[in-house]
Chain A
């Protein structure tokens, strides 16, 4: 397929994405994570119908990186906020610790299983286990928001789960920064590992501060876009040049801006409508990148990683039941309400697949996509059941199409 035709196809998908996000009438249609578009990508990709060929995918690699990093930027900008509400630091910390627990469990399982099921990947054991941990640690904030919006849920458990999901995004991003810092550009080889991770985050923080200074005076919408797009692209470019993670750099850029800018309330409604428009083409191309032949170990490692995640989720759920009285009526189902992964996981999986060559990177992508699809099947049902038991659903039997006032419809900003 011609690159221009594919580009137009991706623009059409972006168009569809922004319509899906923007139209009140059809809100709720589609899956929270965009997993259906991943499946579409698999079908169109080189290993199935072959409409999107391997060379064509290669030519679109920069766009994939930009899409993934832009999603990270939006996640960073909105980090620590659910709708109009700030996440309490204590809850954010618990969310981060919970995601770290999941990540460590998956890391341990994959690291331990690798010699048995995939000896060919032993030379990249740390990278494989680390990559698997990155793409399994997070919980998509959209899943909780989606169920909350669809079923008009409200209450302390909904808030707690939304806060934990929101806070968990930090873990895969920092994990990714560490992973890419393990193999930087030759010019940075002399630098210590910790310094390389610091440099990744520092690039984003520096550009975030520059953007902050430039945005502090009254700017037009176009000028504001210029600064946001310019700093984002530059952070991606500089990080990529140094062999560091563009995604982590742009997340930090967004985080810095979100934490320090007085204009965050204006910025979020500006950029959020672009999220779905970027996510759908990214999901399609990520699906097309999936190559079972290049990742033979995925057949074993995907189930291992997912089982490890589900087991760790049980532990996290038990801790949640013990620590939060509001969660107790929900029972153990609450644990699986958080297995849904989404945009940040997809972005991390794509980043790893593009940053590293070889079977391990494709295996990590398979784990990311496997988790995405399975989470989509399990999490909304579990979440609905948990919220229903907790008495927080207004309409437990079916979807409602109105949006509770606490959860602003972000598409409306478009």
Chain B
């Protein structure tokens, strides 16, 4: 036993050297880009965007590696790199570059949905179906009602609802409540991918969040249809429901066809999957938007079909994992760069109150649902941990609200961004901590 510490010494020295090299490299990268932006403050060409991708990729990777020593998830590193490099701190990546990187988000969301669907195995769903069903029902119902109520309570401090009549205020609160029950598939997949966690908590979290995706998309569409009369004073239009039905059924139909085609390609050709996935993620998303099909639901369905109706699920998952590893880094770093720090500074008391209320409701309801569903102790204890994060899906839904209700949409979106910022920073840390404590992540034993 006496040689134990000695045998660890070279490894830890090598670890320290690696971290030192990473820290120096990160410093040099920041200095290089800082120097370039100081010499030429304005970028004359869109090549600045490419430089931004490269910088966010490297800085995100290095920051995440350095933060790993503190036990923080990689996502936190990507976000932090984005925040520091972004337009509100060092301004190494400007607003134009951040906006120009929108296709990366499109691609990332498509890959997230595809991977999410492919992770949903029917057998797994059967195992955790009861837990997920109870959880979804209680989280959606109680979360929607309670968090709408909390919004109404703090509404006197919310600038953009001042002067709204009571029915409109209720409408805004219901929209808020619906957004509050949305989760972050990307954060969940990101943490699971980093920790390579396996076990009941990982399975439950994945199944719950992917299923909740579908529920939230449908719920949001229903709530929008329902609250429109409260805003405009008119009645519920059946044509809106028809449009909603068309969108959902169409998305599932397109997703099924896509899934079958993908499965056939994987079986018969199975090569150049990087190009195929990029083509699908960018090209097909645009096409789906054009014909009013929800890309998220379609890709989710496609992944599900490949996993459960063919033998190609693992191949697809592996390909998506390879393609998405770089895309995710840029995706989360962009999210960090997008964080509107001045806005967060202005709205932080309300955002903090709403985020805290959401976290409290999430934890309480998840624990209650687990007890009702008689889940395993590990789920009862930590099942809530993956549900705190919010990111791209929530922001995407807030854009839909801005488009539908322009009269208050922008203010609403600002508050969503501020709240998501908090959840985005705290959520992945909690989930990784829970996976470590549950002994499911590979890093737990270290």
A61 and B28 contact, CB distance less than 8 A:
no
Report the stretch among B41-49, B243-251, B350-358 that lies at the interface: B41-49
B427 to chain A, nearest CB (A): 24
Determine how close the nearest CB of chain B comes to the CB of A281; give it in whole angstroms.
11
Q: How far is the CA of A65 from the CA of B278 in the complex (A)?
A: 19
Given the known inter-chain contacts A15-B272, A61-B45, A237-B47, please indicate yes or no for A7 contacting B282, CB distance below 8 A. yes
Residues of A within 8 A of B279 (CB): 8, 11-12
Given contacts A7-B282, A222-B326, contact A233 B46 (CB under 8 A): no
- Per the bound structure, the CA–CA distance linking A65 and B51 in Å amounts to 12
Most central of B14, B47, B57 by chain A CB within 10 Å:
B47
Q: Is A266 an interface residue (CB 8 A)?
A: no
Residues in B whose Cβ lies below 8 Å from that of A242:
36, 39-40
Say which residue of A22, A66, A206 sits within 8 Å of B271 (CB atoms). Answer: A22
Centre residue among B39, B276, B283 by max chain A CB count within 10 A: B39
**Chain A residues, CB < 8 A from B278:** 11
Contact of A226 with B325 at beta-carbon distance under 8 Å, contacts A7-B283, A62-B46, A213-B25 already known: yes
Is A4 part of the binding interface, using a Cβ–Cβ cutoff of 8 Å?
Answer: yes
Chain A contacts for B272, CB-based, 8 A: 15, 18-19
B286 at the interface (CB under 8 A from A): yes
Against A, the Cβ 8 Å flags (1 = close, 0 = not) of B55-70 are 1011001100000000
CA of A209 to CA of B286 in the docked complex: distance in angstroms?
Answer: 40
Taken together as a complex, chains A and B put the C-alpha atoms of A66 and B45 apart, in Å, by 13
Dominant secondary structure of chain B at its interface with chain A: helix
Is B329 touching A214 in the complex (CB atoms < 8 A)? no
A243 within 8 A of B: yes
Residues of chain A within 8 A of B25, CB atoms compared = 210, 213-214
Asked if A240 and B45 sit within 8 Å, CB to CB, the answer is yes
Q: Check B57–A226 contact: CB distance below 8 A.
A: yes
Interface centre among B37, B43, B62, B275 (most CB of A within 10 A): B275
A241 and B37 in contact, given A206-B28, A231-B54 (Cβ under 8 angstroms) = yes
Contact (Cβ within 8 A) B33 A238: yes
The residue on A at minimum CB distance from B51 is A237
- Tally the A-B contacts, defined by beta carbons under 8 Å: 137
Assembled-state Cα–Cα distance A210/B23 (Å): 11
Contacts of B61 on A, CB cut-off 8 Å?
A: 223, 226-227, 230
Which A residues touch B53, using CB under 8 A?
Answer: 233, 237
In Å, the complex CA distance between A225 and B327 comes to: 11
Question: Which of A206, A217, A225, A238 has a CB less than 8 Å from the CB of B326?
Answer: A225
* Minimal beta-carbon separation of A96 from chain B (angstroms): 29
Q: Inside 8 A of B372's CB, which chain A residues have their CB?
A: none
Size class of the contact patch on chain A: 35 or more
**Given A62-B45, A241-B47: A234 and B322 interface contact (C-beta under 8 Å):** no
Contact check, B275 vs A233: say whether CB atoms are below 8 A apart: no
Which residues of B (311-344) have their CB < 8 Å from a CB of A? Answer: 321-322, 325-326, 329
Asked if A14 is an interface residue, CB under 8 A from chain B, the answer is yes
Answer yes or no: B364 CB below 8 A from chain A CBs: no
In the complex, whether A185 has a CB less than 8 A from a CB of chain B is yes
Cβ of A345 within 8 Å of any chain B Cβ, yes or no, is no
The A1-29 residues at the B interface (CB cut-off 8 A) are 4-5, 7-8, 11-12, 14-15, 18-19, 22
| In the assembled complex, B18 has its CB within 8 A of some CB on chain A | yes
Interface size class of B (residues with CB under 8 A): 35 or more
A249 to chain B, nearest CB (A): 11
CA distance A187 to B52 in the complex (A): 20
Cβ contacts under 8 Å, A241 to chain B:
36-37, 40, 43, 47-48, 51
For A277, give its contact among B18, B37, B275 (CB under 8 Å): B275
Q: Is the CB of B54 within 8 A of A235?
A: yes
Residue in contact with A226 in the complex, picked from B39, B50, B326, CB distance below 8 Å: B326
CB-based contact B329/A226 at 8 Å: yes
Say whether, besides A4-B282, A226-B61, A241-B37, A236 and B21 are in contact (CB < 8 Å).
no
Query: Is A188 touching B326 in the complex (CB atoms < 8 A)?
Result: no
Known contacts: A11-B275, A229-B326, A246-B47. The answer to whether A237 contacts B40 by CB under 8 A is no
Asked if B89 lies at the interface with its beta carbon under 8 angstroms from chain A, I say: no
CA distance A243 to B52 in the complex (A): 16
What is the minimal beta-carbon distance from B61 to any residue of chain A, in angstroms? 6
Quick check: B275 and A18 within 8 Å, CB to CB?
yes
A203 at the interface (CB under 8 A from B): yes
| Residues from 290 to 345 in A contacting B, C-beta threshold 8 Å | none
Of the candidates B14, B36, B55, B325, the one having the most CB atoms from chain A within 10 angstroms of its own CB is: B36
- B40–A185 contact, CB under 8 A? yes
A232 in the interface (beta carbon within 8 A): yes
Which B residues are in CB contact (< 8 Å) with A188? 39-40
B168 within 8 A of A: no
Using Cβ atoms and an 8 Å threshold, which residues of chain B touch A235? 54
How many angstroms from the CA of A217 to the CA of B25 in the assembled complex? 14
Chain A residue with Cβ nearest B287: A4
Chain A residues with Cβ below 8 Å from B44 are 185
CB within 8 A of A232: which of B43, B46, B54?
A: B54
**What separation, in Å, do the CA atoms of A352 and B14 have in the docked complex?**
45
Type the 1/0 row for A114-155, where 1 means its CB is closer than 8 Å to any CB of B: 000000000000000000000000000000000000000000
Q: Does B29 contact A (CB under 8 A)?
A: yes
Select from chain A the residue with minimum beta-carbon distance to B59. A230
A237 B283 Cβ-Cβ under 8 A:
no
Of the candidates A22, A217, A230, which one forms a contact with B18 in the assembled complex, judged by CB atoms under 8 Å apart? A217
For A14, what are the chain B residues with a Cβ–Cβ distance below 8 Å? 275
B15 to chain A, nearest CB (A): 10
Query: Judging by beta carbons under 8 Å apart, are B47 and A240 in contact?
Result: yes
Question: What residue in chain B is nearest A63 (Cβ atoms)?
Answer: B50
- Residues of A with C-beta under 8 A to B21: 213-214, 216
Q: Is B32 an interface residue (CB 8 A)?
A: yes
Interface presence of B310 (CB below 8 A): no
Bitwise interface map of A from 259 to 287 toward B, beta carbon under 8 Å scored 1, else 0: 00000000000000000010000000000
CA distance A246 to B22 in the complex (A): 25
Q: How far is the CA of A227 from the CA of B58 in the complex (A)?
A: 7
Q: What chain A residues lie within 8 Å of B54 (beta carbons)?
A: 229-237
Please, how many angstroms separate the alpha-carbon atoms of A167 and B399 in the complex?
A: 54
**C-alpha gap A277/B329 in the complex (Å):** 24
| Contact flag A234-B51 (CB < 8 Å), given A62-B46, A214-B21 | yes
User: Complex formed: what's the CA distance from A214 to B19 in Å?
Assistant: 10
Complex: A86 Cα to B283 Cα, angstroms: 43
Determine the residue in chain B with the shortest Cβ distance to A187.
B39
CA distance A19 to B272 in the complex (A): 8
Find the A residue at minimum CB distance from B17. A217
Whole-angstrom distance between the alpha carbons of A66 and B57 in the complex? 16
Residues of B within 8 A of A210 (CB): 25, 28-29, 58
Supposing A11-B278, A15-B275, A214-B21 touch, asked if A62 and B50 sit within 8 A by C-beta, the answer is yes
Contact among A231, A243, A277 with B58 in the assembled complex (CB-CB below 8 Å): A231
Distance A210 CA – B58 CA, assembled complex (angstroms): 10
Chain B residues with CB under 8 Å of chain A are: 14, 18, 21-22, 24-25, 28-29, 32-33, 36-37, 39-40, 43-55, 57-58, 61-62, 271-272, 275-276, 278-279, 282-283, 286, 321-322, 325-326, 329
A positions within 8 Å CB-CB of B:
4-5, 7-8, 11-12, 14-15, 18-19, 22, 61-62, 65-66, 185-188, 203, 206-207, 210, 213-214, 216-217, 221-223, 225-227, 229-238, 240-243, 246, 277
Known: A227-B61, A233-B53. 6 other contacts (CB 8 A): A22-B271, A210-B29, A225-B325, A233-B54, A234-B57, A237-B47
Q: Can you spell out 20 A-B residue pairs with CB atoms less than 8 angstroms apart?
A: A8-B282, A11-B275, A11-B283, A14-B275, A18-B271, A210-B25, A210-B29, A214-B62, A217-B18, A221-B322, A223-B61, A230-B57, A233-B51, A233-B57, A234-B33, A236-B47, A237-B55, A238-B51, A240-B48, A242-B39
In the A-B complex, list the 4 residue pairs whose CB atoms are closest, starting with the nearest. Answer: A237-B51, A233-B54, A234-B54, A230-B57
